Amino acid sequence: MSKHFKTAFIIFLSIFIIDQIVKFGFANFDWNVAGPIMSLELAYNYGVAFSMFSFLQEYLKYIQLAIVFGATMYLYKNPDVFKEYYISVALLFAGGLSNILDRFTYGAVVDYFYWHYGFEFAIFNIADVIINLGVAIILYKQFKQARKEKQKTENS
């Protein structure tokens, strides 16, 4: 097993377990706390981001599993991509699979962070934050690589 895969697996497992424990707590105990800026408030999201596609509620878990399977096959056939983005992959898979497990366990994604200071924002969870972090890392690496390539061509 490669060093990158081991690291990615540890990141994946740690985040996945923590996220599921927190979601279990919100779904089964009264962990709601009202705050002046952000509140902890249980909500179920039957769609995806901002409750989009909630009309596909029964099918979303299968659609998302198919996407994860496709991404896994892509990474298997392109190990250089995995090696370059293994941390982001671990983050995306941990957050994504945790939210998919919610759909099988609770019938919807368990959300609980509710930002309401200055403006109302969607309720979200740790997995959502982790997914966004994974995407941000990919974008950062892409911009950094593009800048390096641009400088290389300008210096040639």
Q: Annotated active-site positions, please?
A: 111, 128
DSSP summary character for residue 33: B
Contact (Cβ atoms closer than 8 angstroms) between residue 40 and residue 33: yes
61 contact partners, CB below 8 Å, separation of at least 6: 100, 103, 104
Contact (Cβ atoms closer than 8 angstroms) between residue 113 and residue 38: yes
Alpha-helix runs per DSSP H in 53-125:
57-77, 79-106
Instruction: Show the tokens assigned to 143.
Output: 């911009």
SS3 110: strand
